[in-house]
Amino acid sequence: MSYEHRFIDGSPCGLPLGKVVCVGRNYAAHAKELNNPVPSTPMLFIKPATAVVGLDSPIVIPQDRGACHHELEVSVLIGEVLTNSSSEAAKQAIVGYGLGLDLTLRDVQNRLKEKGHPWEAAKAFDGSCPLTAFVPVKQVAGPLNLDLQLERNGVLQQKGNTSEMITGIFDLVAFMSTQFTLLPGDVVMTGTPAGVGELKGGDRLVLVLDKYCEFTVFVG
């Protein structure tokens, strides 16, 4: 099934699928768990549109490429063109909030990092960005204070709050717009809290975004 941006009531968002702009190490506890320094400015990377899939089908893990880790993140759907924008303009350009998984081939990433090579092979492969439907922005009372959590097979693996971000959502989107023009239909991934771990075939994941939505997905 091809992916299309949708709201949680099932209605289409009316926006094309674009790129996904991501940030690494935006929660200090996650940087610590991987023994990584906290960057002084947001560390950005991009996933192409081909990385995006919906959570209405099982997650597919690449074979014979080592461990694939889940990284739960709040996802932000952009509805206006943003270039060198202010934080307020970034806030006004957001259409909805959801959850996404930044799937990461950790063994591949570690080998690339050791050689000083780019990480795309570990982060931008087909299907590496499963996204939920989006909660319309008008329904989200406090995006800077959202709980997010992931359970795997009934055990809590990741739990965080957007207030714990090193760079908050609006400032992050604004910063991204100084590096890459954001277009309607682009998605921003805002970083993952601690607790990332390896996925296995048959795993059952439950993703929760505060009081707004809950999604269940299986790993194929």
CATH code, domain with 140: 3.90.850.10
- Asked if 3 and 187 count as a contact pair (C-beta separation under 8 A), the reply is no
Please report whether residue 10 resides in a domain. Answer: no
Please report whether residue 14 resides in a domain. Answer: no
- Over residues 94-141, the pLDDT tens digits come to 999 999 999 999 999 999 999 999 989 999 999 999 999 999 999 999
pTM of the model: 0.95
Query: What three-state secondary structure class fits 19?
Result: coil
Query: Which structure tokens are listed for 21?
Result: 């702009």
- Over residues 138-169, the pLDDT tens digits come to 999 999 999 999 999 999 999 999 999 999 99
Please report whether residue 49 resides in a domain. Answer: yes
Please report whether residue 151 resides in a domain. Answer: yes
**DSSP-derived pairing of the beta strands 72-78 and 94-101:** antiparallel
> What distance in Å separates the CA atoms of residue 210 and residue 149, rounded to the nearest whole number?
8
Please report whether residue 6 resides in a domain. Answer: no
Give the range of the structural domain holding residue 211, as residue numbers without chain letter.
20-218
Please report whether residue 1 resides in a domain. Answer: no
Query: What three-state secondary structure class fits 190?
Result: coil
As for how many domains the chain has, the answer is 1
Please report whether residue 28 resides in a domain. Answer: yes
Please report, for the chain, how many H helices and E strands are present, in that order: 5, 15
